[in-house]
Structure formats: C-alpha cells, structure tokens
A and B are shown apart, each in its own frame.
Chain A
C-alpha cells in the first residue's frame, strides 16, 4: 500500500536520510524506531511533503506522491500526527477537530467521524468549547490523534505519540493506536519508546544516523540481542 524507495534528504550539507527504503502493507502497524536525531521525524515530514526531498520515490496506493504538495497528500488519505502534538492552542477543541476535516466536503461523513472521535475520546466532547491550549498533555495528544482521524485517513503517521506523557497515558495511547488499527487504519509509528512500539507493531525498521540498519518482524527484533542492547536497555 505504501512504499519508500531510496529516499535521500539533506538539511543544507547534512545528509539526514540516506537511501531509506521501507514498505507498509494495508492493515499493518509498522514502527520506525531509533535514537534522537536518527531521522525518524524527517522521514515522516518527507512523506507528508513538508520537508523537501533530494531523491527517491514515495508511492501510496500505486501512485507517486514524492512531488505532491502537502495538501494533495492529505487528500489522498495520509494523515500525520506531528511530534509534539502541534495542536492549535488558541482554537477550541471542536475547531481543532474541524481543521482535521478541512478538505472534506461530505458534511454528513464529517459529523459521523466527529461522533466517532468523541466516542473514542469522551474527554474531547466534554471539553469541545475549551481552548485546546488549556488541555493536559495527554488530552492534547488525544486531540492531535482525533484531529488526524477527522480526515478519515487510510494511512496514519504518528510521530512520538508517547512523548512527555505519564506512564498511564502512554499505555492508554498505545491501546488507542492498536484500536485505531483494528478498525481499519494502517499505522506507521515513529517512537523512541522502542519497547512499547515493538509490543504493538507487526513489523519494525531501525533507523540510525539516517540509515535503516535493521528491519523485520517486531517480535523477532524485540528478542534480538542487538536491539535489546541498543534500545531496550539490555
């Protein structure tokens, strides 16, 4: 369903991604793990058309998307929950969710999805009139995910959804991701919390200094010595 081939991204003279290739099949949760600065966020931003790429191809549903603008990519069905949540703090919770459905014209469908998001995150319905900046970190993460779901994506890109959250919220967020996947959305998950990410993913890629160094079944990787030493604390 989704494929990256030989992706190269530069920031000035820094070669941030080197020949990155990966695939995501329909219905999967695929995680991209690696340490800080490895290029995980860059990969997602390149997919979404925010960070320009030097070379390589990105295909989604058999169409090339590497030259498309961000708007078109969203329209095709890729939603991106950015690192640090990036909700609109001075807009209400409801307005944030409406922004997620910005490109949609099917009002009935949007209302239906709004209801689904409220069912999934009842706290958002309770706070729909509140400014999003007043929500707690965990609630903001829920809002960021809910906002992305409002586009009714086929592929959901999640960048560090557990960042800065308390352990209880971290568990909850991963349960939510599993559930979103079960209801038919393919997920690509970028995480520093490798243990949690590997526990819910089907497959995983490990990114180091802009290069994919390992890939495979998430369970197998979690059991491999190298991964345990480097990412799971022994």
Chain B
C-alpha cells in the first residue's frame, strides 16, 4: 500500500468511524445514566434516516434543514420511548429492561417496514454533496469531509452541554450518584429524559448522513447499532470521550483491514481487537473501574 493509499484509507476510516462515534455516544450516555444497553438505539438512527429522506424527497427541504427535522423527531421519539417503555421498569431487574429494549428495536423496525415497505431507497443524488476534492494527490469525497466536519461540530456542542450547562452537569451528577443528585433537588426523571433526547438527536445526525451516503431500509440500523455498541464498549462504556475514540478507532481498524485485502474479515478483526482490549483493560480504553456502591 502506498503512502497515498494509506492516507486515503485513513480518511475513509475516520469518516465511517465518525458515524460510529455519533451513534456510540447515545449508547454510552444512556448506559452511564441508567445502566441500560439501549438496543433500540440503532433503530432510532434508522428512523432519523427515513425522516431525513421524507423531508428531502417529499417536502423538498434542503439537506441541513432535513437533518434538523430528523434531530427533532428522533429526540422526541427517544424521550417517548424512555417514558413509555423504560421508565415503568426503572426498578425492575436489568435483564427485563434489556429485553424490553430489544422489543422496542423490533417494534421500530417492523412498524417502519409496515409504513414504507421493506425495499431499499436512496436519497436523491447530490443531496449531501458528492464532489471530489484533489488535495496533494489524494482524492477526497466531499461527503467524507462533511461527515467529519458535522461530527466535530456535534462533539464540541456535546462537550459544551455536558461540561458547561446546568442540565449537562445534572447529567453527570445523576450518572455518578442518582440518590445524591436527588438530594440536590435534581429531578432524575427529567435528567434521564434529556439524556435520551441528546443521544437520539446524535443518532439522527448519524442516520441522515448514512442515509445520504448509502441506501436506507428499515433494518439499516442493526449493523451500525451493533458497531456503535462495540465502539462504546471499546472506548469504555459510560465514558463520553471513550465513545468518540472507540468509534473512530473502530472505523479505522475496519477500513485498514479492508484496505490490505481482508474485507471479508473486517468484522472479525474488529472483534478480535475488542476482545484483546477488554482482556487487558476490562473497562475499555478510557473506562473507569467501577467501584461498587454499598
């Protein structure tokens, strides 16, 4: 592989990794606050892709506006799912909630299939820019640049919310100790709702970009959902920087394994590396050893 090819693959890897990272953030934030692996998260990404599609094809909205609408719809959907499906099970055993999440996942997939049919659809050509840039002998797809740029903006915005705003600090407080947070007067319910809103909004951004780059179908959320989950565990579930790092690394590993000619084994490679990381650091790259609370 020449150096140019390597750089090219690096760009590919970072852009697909950005999508994983955006989706992984939702997993990790929800896990951080209610210790639930929200298996319906990938399907929220799928709903986002469809909402974006409908906005562009049916309502003729510009791409960015379509993304904003998808973010709003998915944010509310995430809040509604938490309220209806997970909140009544707040004190139930974890496995009960986990199975409920799998149920919600199927519900979203097959309701969407009933609504729009099972066949794949494609966003109109060029809706997300589809030019080629030549920089120093590298040909870069402008879509990839946009994906990385949008992801960076999202991550900066997320960092700002989590670190600086009152509700973001409340999220961290509830994640770290829900009882103590309640004693501060923080409403745990509202904070959890906001976490779902944020995570689902990021999934919608990922979904619209994926939809524009590939094709969409009602089961499209499963694969990136699983990958994002791996990325979140890889980076250390519950850790926000971990999810970002895990997503990008996973994208890079997959792309580089493909580039050296083992495309059939890219998932295998991703899992082997995940297992190795977890053997050495069971809590993930940036995860913390969990201290059991008494």
Interface residues of A (CB under 8 A from B): 48-50, 69-71, 74-75, 79-80, 82, 84, 86-91, 95, 98-100, 102-103, 147-148, 151
Partner of A50, one of B172, B176, B183, B186: B183
- B180 touching A86 by the CB < 8 A rule? yes
In whole Å, how far is B288's beta carbon from the nearest beta carbon of chain A? 8
Do A90 and B169 have beta carbons less than 8 Å apart?
Answer: no
B184 near A102: Cβ-Cβ < 8 Å: yes
Asked whether B5 is an interface residue with its Cβ less than 8 Å from the other chain, the reply is: no
Q: A50-B179, A82-B179 in contact; A71/B172 too (CB < 8 A)? A: no
A70 touches B169 (CB 8 A): no
Listed residue (A69, A70, A91) with the most chain B CB atoms within 10 angstroms of its CB: A70
Q: What are the residues of chain B within 8 A of A90 when measuring CB–CB?
A: 172, 176
Q: Decide if B170 touches A102 in the complex (CB within 8 Å).
A: yes
Q: Which 7 A-B pairs have the closest CB atoms?
A: A74-B185, A86-B180, A103-B185, A70-B182, A99-B184, A80-B183, A102-B184
Additional pairs, 12, CB under 8 Å, beyond known A88-B180, A91-B172, A100-B184 = A48-B182, A49-B182, A71-B185, A71-B186, A82-B183, A84-B294, A88-B181, A90-B176, A98-B169, A99-B184, A99-B186, A102-B185
Question: A75 to chain B: which residues have CB within 8 Å?
Answer: 185
> From residue A44, how far is it (CB to closest CB) to chain B in Å?
10
Q: List 29 A-B contacts (CB under 8 A).
A: A48-B182, A50-B179, A50-B183, A69-B187, A70-B185, A71-B185, A74-B183, A74-B185, A75-B185, A80-B183, A82-B179, A82-B180, A82-B183, A86-B177, A87-B180, A88-B172, A88-B180, A88-B181, A89-B176, A91-B172, A91-B176, A99-B169, A99-B170, A99-B173, A99-B184, A102-B186, A103-B184, A147-B184, A148-B183
Size of the B side of the interface (Cβ < 8 Å), in residues, is: 17
Q: A88-B177, A90-B172, A99-B173 are in contact. Are A50 and B182 (CB under 8 A)?
A: yes
CA distance in complex: A148, B176 (Å): 17
List residues 16-63 of chain B with CB under 8 A from any CB of chain A. Answer: none
Inside 8 A of B169's CB, which chain A residues have their CB? 91, 95, 98-99
- Could you tell me the distance in whole angstroms from the C-beta of B175 to the nearest C-beta in chain A? 9
Taking A88-B172, A91-B172, A98-B169 as contacts, is the C-beta distance between A74 and B177 under 8 angstroms?
no
Give the interface of B toward A (CB within 8 A). 166, 169-170, 172-173, 176-177, 179-187, 294
Q: How far is the CA of A124 from the CA of B179 in the complex (A)?
A: 23
Contacts of B173 in A (CB 8 A): 88, 91, 99
Contacts of A147 in B (CB 8 A): 184
> In the bound complex, do residue A151 and residue B180 qualify as a contact, i.e. CB atoms below 8 Å apart?
no
Taking the closest CB of chain A, its distance from the CB of B194, in whole angstroms, is 14
Q: Which residues of A contact B187 (CB under 8 A)?
A: 69, 71
Please give, as numbers and ranges, the residues of chain B lying within 8 Å of A98 by CB-CB distance. 169
Chain B residue contacts of A88, Cβ below 8 A: 172-173, 176-177, 180-181
B170 contact set on A, CB distance < 8 A: 99, 102
A99 to B217, CA, bound (A): 44
Q: In the assembled complex, how far is the CB of residue A85 from the closest CB belonging to chain B, in whole angstroms?
A: 9
B89 to chain A, nearest CB (A): 17
Min Cβ gap B87→A in Å is 14
Q: Given the known A-B contacts A91-B172, A99-B173, are A151 and B184 also in contact in the complex, defined by CB atoms under 8 Å?
A: yes
Distance in Å: Cβ of B52 to nearest Cβ of chain A: 35
Q: Known interface pairs A90-B172, A91-B172, A91-B173. Does A74 touch B184 (Cβ–Cβ under 8 Å)?
A: yes
The answer on a CB contact under 8 Å between A48 and B183 is yes
Closest to B163 in A: A95
A95→B179 CA distance, assembly (Å): 17
CA distance A207 to B172 in the complex (A): 36
